[in-house]
Amino acid sequence: MAPLTSSTREVFGEAVRAVLETWPVLQIAVDNGFGGAYSQQKAEWMADALQQYFMENDELQQDEVEDFISDLMNNEFDTLVDDGSLPQVAQKVCEMFQQCQQDRLTEVKEQIKQLIRKKSAGRAKATPAKTPAAEDDEDSEDEEAMECDGGAGGASVNGPVVKEQHLPPHEEEDDGWTVVRRKK
């Protein structure tokens, strides 16, 4: 395929930003500062880096794009993506790039509008879950609930509730990790 013109490149850049800005994994990483103090700037840079990756490489396959995005998330946000969304993000970006190459900019712009509407509808938030006992006694420090990834597909935000075990501080568990607990 022919290289993208500057106007087509601009549309593709908007498409990449729209896809990444509506990706819950990246939203959570940015909102919670997984990339440090400059998480938002890293997310913006990531969109530029992904766009440049497409411009510098011919005939990219979806798995190559997945690997590239996965490496960026791991290196910049210390995040391993295993919720099943990475193939979807890579596929969407690949499809939009092909549409830009075929000069189907109207379709791409419509998809961008849909993604922007989705983004303005609400961002994903990571919030702690409450156990029924914790709801009854909000001041209880004996129980602490945490929301976990629930299903094999990873799409579920509401997973099993994990209760904090009562272990002495700094006790080493069987797997060699040292667990540090807060003081009561």
Residues 69 and 145 grouped into a single domain = no
Lowest mean pLDDT among 6-10, 12-16, 59-63, 149-153: 149-153
For residue 77, pLDDT over 70 is answered with yes
Whole-prediction pTM: 0.64
Residue 148 CA to its chain's centroid (Å)? 15
Show the tokens assigned to 107. 């379709």
Residues 27 and 114 grouped into a single domain = yes
Residues 16 and 97 grouped into a single domain = yes
Strands 145-147 and 161-163: antiparallel
36 belongs to a structural domain: yes
Residues 82 and 148 grouped into a single domain = no
Give the pLDDT of residue 141.
44
For residue 158, pLDDT over 60 is answered with no
Residues 73 and 134 grouped into a single domain = no
138 belongs to a structural domain: yes
pLDDT confidence bin for 39, thresholds 50/70/90: very high
Give the pLDDT of residue 164.
44
Residues 10 and 93 grouped into a single domain = yes
97-120 pLDDT per residue, tens? 999 999 999 999 999 999 988 877
Lowest mean pLDDT among 49-53, 97-101, 114-118, 140-144: 140-144
Say how many domains are in the chain.
2
Residues 16 and 81 grouped into a single domain = yes
- Domain boundary among the residues 121, 146, 171 is at 121
